[in-house]
Structure 1
Amino acid sequence: MNGLQRWAEQARWSREPVAAAPDAGGALIVEAVEGSDWWRDTAYSFRHDNGHALLTEWPLDTAVEVDFDLTGFTGEFDQAGLMIWADEAHWIKAGVEHSDGHQQLGAVVTVGASDWSTGRVDDWVGTTVTVRASRIADAVVIRARASHDPSWRLVRVARFPHETALIGPMLCAPMRAGFSVRFVDWRVTEADVELHAEPTE
């Protein structure tokens, strides 16, 4: 049983997906409901709070990592990665999203209202992507990398002064039906020592 399977036994879906089942290799295949997403107010003047995240408590002084295959992201705003949840007005989602014809690595940080930072990672298509969240003082540090490159990329540093939070793999399909993600693994690891040093293996 891999880390994802062990962890999934104690986690709960924020919203049940169309389907979620292990494959022969132990990965979790999840299909999103059409119209699922998280966003709060900014620029679009709407609130979406019906995405899919398999959430469990996030222990202090730890980091978490989720691995997923970057394949099949073809619909506008197809997305997967991880969700950090304090409450409906305070949360962070980070991962890869298909937007404007490209694969975009980014994060949405919501403190009352949402913001969005993003950058293209088209060369990551066909790889396994790892998204990592770590607590440092009153902040969450988001990093990511693809299986063809061991170097971590800094995605976001966001203030997060919440001792109690939930965390887990997430996916959304705002614009279409039939979007599935293969989540390969999930780990709780040691927290980052400092912001300007890559995590140790």
Structure 2
Amino acid sequence: MAEVVEDGFWTQTGELTDEARWLNTDGQHWTLKEAGATCRLQVGDFWQRTFYSPPICKSNAPALLRPFPPDHRVETEFVIEPQNQFDQAGLLVYCHDQCWLKAGIEYADGALRLSTVVTNGFSDWSTQVVATAGCALRVSRTSVQDYVVEVQNEAGAWDFIRIAHLDTKEQDTVRAGLYACAPQQIGGLVRFSRARLQQGIDFAHSA
């Protein structure tokens, strides 16, 4: 079993834990309580260059992050209430604006999509349509540069949906945690019922 390093990103009174930091926000649109966090989606996004013309280069979505060393995993459970195209929420692994990974649920082209975007200079997006607006999700950092994204199925087991590489180095500061944004316009809502960082990798897969 993994040893819990810190069961949460905030205290029971809604204060940030010692190592938790906001990115691209001061947290004013987030409500942190013992039972979870609620966020009204604000304008912003993470995307770099791929597909769209003219190219979209954004790294301004709000997030709540903690240091994320190798042999750790970050986990959350949430429900999103989207209102506009590309409303999204989930987990973010962030090194810098050209090197990051996000995984969660995104509303795109009239459907809810379980999505993962991996960015090493250019963004690589994979999706699958889902029937519900909520999920339990975790990302494990299995080595300095390797990451695994998993979603919890109805039976409670974890299914991996992505094995990814990020160009992160041993000396880099890599952080991970919650993110939520509305690239088009303010409106949607997300409720996170848990968020935690754990030491140890509970993931089995071999060649």
State TM-score, norm by structure 1.
Answer: 0.84
Shift of residue 48, structure 1, vs aligned partner: 1.2
Match of 1:5 among 4, 10, 33: 10
Shift of residue 18, structure 1, vs aligned partner: 5.3
Trace 1:1-201 onto structure 2 (pairs within 5 A).
3-6=8-11, 8-9=16-17, 10-16=19-25, 19-22=29-32, 26-34=35-43, 36-44=44-52, 45-70=55-80, 72-122=81-131, 124-125=132-133, 127=134, 129-137=135-143, 138-145=145-152, 148-162=154-168, 163=170, 164-189=173-198, 190-195=200-205
4+ residue segments displaced more than 3 Å: none
CA contact (8 A) 2:35 2:193 kept: yes
Residues 18 and 173 from structure 1, CA distance in 2 versus in 1: closer, same or farther, beyond 3 angstroms? farther
Bigger Cα displacement from structure 2, 10-19 vs 44-53: 10-19
Query: How many residue pairs end up in the alignment?
Result: 189
**Unaligned ranges ≥5, structure 1:** 197-201
Shift of residue 87, structure 1, vs aligned partner: 1.3
Aligned to 2:4: none
Residues 144 and 84 from structure 1, CA distance in 2 versus in 1: closer, same or farther, beyond 3 angstroms? same
CA distance in 1, matches of 2:204, 2:46: 30
**How many percent of aligned residue pairs carry the same amino acid?**
32
Residues 149 and 97 from structure 1, CA distance in 2 versus in 1: closer, same or farther, beyond 3 angstroms? farther
One-letter amino acid of the counterpart of residue 174, structure 2: A
State TM-score, norm by structure 2.
Answer: 0.82
CA contact (8 A) 2:87 2:106 kept: yes
CA contact (8 A) 2:72 2:142 kept: no
Q: What is the root-mean-square deviation in Å for CA atoms of aligned residues? A: 2.2
Shift of residue 91, structure 1, vs aligned partner: 0.5
CA distance in 2, matches of 1:161, 1:49: 17
One-letter amino acid of the counterpart of residue 160, structure 1: L
**Unaligned ranges ≥5, structure 2:** 1-6
Q: Which structure has more helix as a fraction of its residues?
A: 1
List per-residue Cα deviations over 1:42-87 (Å, max 9, x = no partner). Answer: 11112111111111101321111011124x1232111000110111
One-letter amino acid of the counterpart of residue 114, structure 1: S
Residues 88 and 140 from structure 1, CA distance in 2 versus in 1: closer, same or farther, beyond 3 angstroms? same
